[in-house]
Amino acid sequence: MYITRIYADGFKNLKKVDLSPHEELNIFWGKNAQGKTNLIEAVWLCTGVRSFRSTKDSKMIDIDKDHMTIEVSFKDNFREQTVRYSMDKNNLKEKDLFLNGVKVKTPSKLFGQLDCVVFTPEDLDISKGSPENRRQFIDLCVSQIKNNYSGVCAKYDRIIEHRNALLKNIAYGKSSKDELEGWDTQLAQLGSYISLLRYNYTKKLASFASKLYSEISQGKEKLEINYYSTVFSKLEGRKDFAGDLAREYLDVLKKNTDEDIRAGFTMKGIHRDDIITKINGLACRDYASQGQHRSTALVLKLSQAYILEQEKDDAPCILLDDVLSELDEFRQKFVLSKIKGMQVFITCCEKNIQFEKNQHGRLYNIEGGRIKTHKRKEKKD
Ligand SMILES: Nc1ncnc2c1ncn2[C@@H]1O[C@H](COP(=O)(O)OP(=O)(O)O)[C@@H](O)[C@H]1O
Ligand SMILES: [Mg+2]
């Protein structure tokens, strides 16, 4: 899949952008605070997934303007499509979203059309940071390949909030334990479904990532990735999320009720699960070096791209926001070699990124939100 046009007007500091990116490599270089990440964010918004920067809607529109429009056209194996994303300062709730000219209700309805994998410097800490970051990562990955998944997660989150409020009320004697029943049944069903999808995704991730990690460590290290469930001791080979798994989930919730009431929150469930990474048998979170964390992050992101490619029969677009400068030359080359053939957008402060032999691309400069084609670099062998 590749993007054929990016148009933006009124998005943050970007001055009217209208460009036709190269099918392979697109490098945007410029000093800090010129609008490089804003450009990546504009493209990302058209995937329908929440901003990776968690920018509030009201902060997306240029402070000097009332309106913003982003339009991204992209081609997959079958056709060219266009996503149009507009917002008005006076009516932020009612976004104007169109897919091929047809209005869609919410950003999540855009899922699965424009597929991108975004990689930012914050992602380099994924195996080091909190379990929440890893859960967010896996949820985003699954939502890219499973349409209803983000809706199920949102519902689970709402129910957990209700249940936690109820637990506190029970502790204060304002509610009775019986009132938990209805919430628990729903949690068990949604939680089982999420557990199973996450577990199966983690298995795929592990199989791609362990091969890539063996390469990046030149055969010296072995990466293992496992889904850690706070509810289930075994998920392998299980399928019946609405039956067996939901019953087991419900049992765990029931067994823990008294402890939950004391704690004032639900202690077990998919909101407490984790993705455990180990290198040569040692947990990354506790033992890995900076370099090992980086390599782990790189192979996780690359695996996300490969899984999308496998599921969709088409490679996603890769957005590398300011990450190359964080990597040593070996890791830079490794990443670039693994995404060869995919459309890549790279932002950096350096204009002297080396194009590899046979790699075609375009160089742009961003200054004060203005994007100029800098120099066309096409190297033939
Ligand atoms: N809503 C907005 N309106 C105007 N400018 C904005 C808005 N939001 C962010 N900016 C500006 O965008 C710039 C940051 O752009 P960014 O893409 O993060 O830079 P970088 O090139 O370092 O990646 C800052 O100068 C910031 O003030
Ligand atoms: Mg930036």
3 state SS for the chain: CEEEEEEEECECCCCCEEECCCCCEEEEECCCCCCHHHHHHHHHHCCCCCCCCCCCHHHCECCCCCEEEEEEEEECCCCEEEEEEEEEHHHCCCCEEEECCEEECCHHHHCCCCCEEEECHHHHHCCCCCHHHHHHHHHHHHHHHCCCHHHHHHHHHHHHHHHHHHHHHHHCCCCCHHHHHHHHHHHHHHHHHHHHHHHHHHHHHHHHHHHHHHHHCCCCCCEEEEEECCCCCCCCCCCCHHHHHHHHHHHHHHHCHHHHHHHCCCCCCHHHCEEEEEECCEEHHHHCCHHHHHHHHHHHHHHHHHHHHHHHCCCCEEEEECCHHHCCHHHHHHHHHHCCCCCEEEEECCCCCCCCCCCEEEEEEEECCEEEEEEEEECCC
The pLDDT, as a whole number, for residue 381 is 45
**pTM for the whole structure:** 0.94
Q: pLDDT digit of tens for each residue in the chain (381 aa)? A: 999 999 999 999 999 999 999 999 999 999 999 999 999 999 999 999 877 777 888 899 999 999 999 999 999 988 999 999 999 999 988 899 999 999 999 898 898 899 999 999 999 999 999 999 999 999 999 999 998 899 999 999 999 999 999 999 999 999 999 999 999 999 999 999 999 999 999 999 999 999 999 999 999 999 999 999 999 999 999 999 999 999 999 999 999 999 999 999 999 999 999 999 999 999 999 999 999 999 999 999 999 999 999 999 999 999 999 998 888 999 999 999 999 999 999 999 987 666 666 678 999 999 999 999 976 555 544
Report the nearest-CA residue for atom 16 of ligand 1: 35
122 exposure class (CB count in 10 Å sphere: 0-12, 13-18, 19+): middle
Report the residue among 29, 31, 34 best suited for mutation to probe ligand 1: largest number of ligand atoms under 8 A from its CB.
34
1-115+314-381 fold: Rossmann fold (3.40.50)
User: Is the CB of 62 within 6 Å of ligand 1?
Assistant: yes
Residue with the nearest Cα to atom 19 of ligand 1? 33
Q: Which residues contact 335 (CB under 8 A, 6 or more apart)?
A: 298, 302, 320, 324, 327
Ligand 2 centre distance from Cα of residue 37 (Å): 4
Residue 101 confidence (pLDDT): 96
Domain boundaries, the chain: 1-115+314-381
Which residue's CA is minimally distant from atom 15 of ligand 1?
Answer: 35
CB of 31 shorter than 6 A to ligand 1: no
Ligand sitting nearest the alpha carbon of 11: 1
Query: pLDDT value at position 294?
Result: 94
C-beta 134 within 6 A of ligand 1: no
| 12 CB within 6 A, ligand 1 | yes
